[in-house]
Amino acid sequence: MTKNDKENRQDDGERMSDEISRDVERKLKARSERQKGVWFGLGMFGLVGWSIVIPTLLGVVLGIWLDERFVGEISWTLTLLFLGLILGCINAWYWIKGESPND
């Protein structure tokens, strides 16, 4: 290992340390600004809603397309509707969990 390799690793470590410090500072600042208004709540409500609606609608559209192409006993529309709904709810749960003050 050459001297330049060691210096590059130190630079990478310092850079990563700086990024982590910025992220921690950003989270601490966000936690200290606890006073969130009605608009923040409505915006969060909208984001959570869309994070559920979009995968559900994509599942429906893909299901309709599959039902038209491959006729069978299984309704692809219903199957992918529920799959999209489940994925959307999981997505919303992770979103809310990431925004909660107890993370």
Q: Are residues 39 and 62 in the same domain?
A: yes
| Domain assignment of residue 46, given as a range | 35-103
44 and 19 in one domain? Answer: no
- Cβ–Cβ < 8 Å for 52, 88: yes
Q: Which residues contact 34 (CB under 8 A, 6 or more apart)?
A: 101
Mark whether 24 and 58 lie in a shared domain: no
Q: Are residues 46 and 62 in the same domain?
A: yes
On whether both 80 and 44 belong to a single domain, the answer is yes
Task: Work out how many domains the chain is built from and give that number.
Answer: 2
Instruction: Indicate if 74 and 89 belong to the same structural domain.
Output: yes
pTM score over 0.75: no
**Run of H or E including 45:** helix 38-69
Please answer whether residues 47 and 95 qualify as being in contact, where contact means their C-beta atoms are separated by less than 8 angstroms: yes
CA of residue 16 relative to chain centroid, distance = 23
Domain identity same for 55 and 72: yes
CA gap 27, 4 in Å, rounded: 35
**In this predicted model, what pLDDT tens digit does every residue of 47-91 receive, in sequence order?**
888 899 999 999 999 999 999 998 888 899 999 999 999 999 999
